[in-house]
Amino acid sequence: MKEKVVLAYSGGLDTTVIIPWLKENYDYEVICVCGNCGQAEELDGLEERALSSGASKLYIEDLTDEFCDDFIVPCVQAHAVYENKYLLGTSMARPVIAKRLVEVARKEGATAICHGATGKGNDQIRFELGIKALAPDLKIIAAWRDPKWNLNSREEEIEYCRQHGIHLPFSADSSYSRDRNLWHISHEGLELENPANEPNYEHLLVLSTTPEKAPDTPEYVTMTFEKGVPVSLNGKKMKVSEIIAELNVLGGKHGIGIIDIVENRVVGMKSRGVYETPGGTILYEAHQQLEELILDRDTYALKTDLGNKFAQVVYEGKWFTPLREALQAFIESTQRYVTGEVKFKFYKGNIIKAGTTSPYSLYNESIASFTTGDMYDHHDAEGFINLFGLSTKVRALKLQEAGELKK
């Protein structure tokens, strides 16, 4: 009996080439696993491609709802944004895929897991940290870092397939390097490799239109949350995955959620990419719009800091760690009263507030109104300012005494 290896399989050229390469160099039985996180038509023809390339079996695992409920929702609740722009589309998907790779490896009695992530990127870290955390006994094969790997270009990979009798729908033409799931699609390569170049949006965009080509008429949308979880869109109850899918359509139509960023990868280099996250951008904004009404100032401030830390932890592939669990426990405790309805309108790439309501709102018109209310006496501010500014005044007096501050 040959040893079995589970291959993280996307159906792209790299992971297709890895199937015969594993058999030739390691004499493994190759079992492919594709985690369906909502990558749509990219799943078409996968089974035929994997089997014709030499795999003994292909699992196409529907992870969409698990991805949304257990990985996306905590990031939305944390308002986890990496380097102020990136909404973690690839980062959130890798741990749920790694988890399923381990589950299939256990089921099949495999001794190793292989992935096709390059030695320059973040995904190698995310996959391998996830596998190490869940199955430290399993061997990990990173093809692109393996000493037996000598295919260094797309052309060489296609020729390798030809030599092994594998006829696949891939050409040597250059194209963007893309990653897609329900949450987003990323684009790297071609003109984007030079930060001096403007993205060719006409050629690049998949989910969206540009704001310039968006409708000239704004569109109103309402969304409700219960304990920080989105539960309905425009009055219709939906699963989180259904809400995201619908928001992708709406956001894409209005040119929302297109970002161009030079980010700092975990391995130390800078990388330029364009991300389309129409539904995710709306969901983040809607959730924050509601939290503004509900969370007290101190909790909101600390949650902002920890949200940034949560983003870093997820970006670096540390999902299956005590730190992520502890951060998420705090974040979940803040969501107890994040219930209510948000209304906004989309217009030319913008999400514009159009009203927010919650039974737990801390906004009190009697206090906040410019007219005098019965819960706030303007004269109380004088004593507060005297105490709040006491250290500032004492320091200024000492500077005056020292002659460093003129009267």
Active site positions, annotated: 14, 94, 123, 177
The closest alpha carbon to 299, from 338, 351, 339, 259, belongs to 338
CA angle, residues 278, 279, 282, in degrees to nearest 5: 90
Q: Give the burial class of 164: count Cβ atoms within 10 A of its Cβ; 0-12 exposed, 13-18 middle, 19 or more buried.
A: middle
The closest alpha carbon to 25, from 156, 168, 148, belongs to 148
Give the whole-angstrom CA distance, residue 60 versus residue 151: 27
Give the whole-angstrom CA distance, residue 327 versus residue 147: 39
Structure token pair of residue 42: 């990219």
The closest alpha carbon to 318, from 36, 72, 91, belongs to 91
Q: In angstroms, how far apart are the furthest CA atoms of the chain? A: 91
Q: Which residues contact 403 (CB under 8 A, 6 or more apart)?
A: none
Structure token pair of residue 240: 């989180």
The closest alpha carbon to 95, from 65, 57, 61, 133, belongs to 133
The closest alpha carbon to 92, from 119, 58, 63, 60, belongs to 63
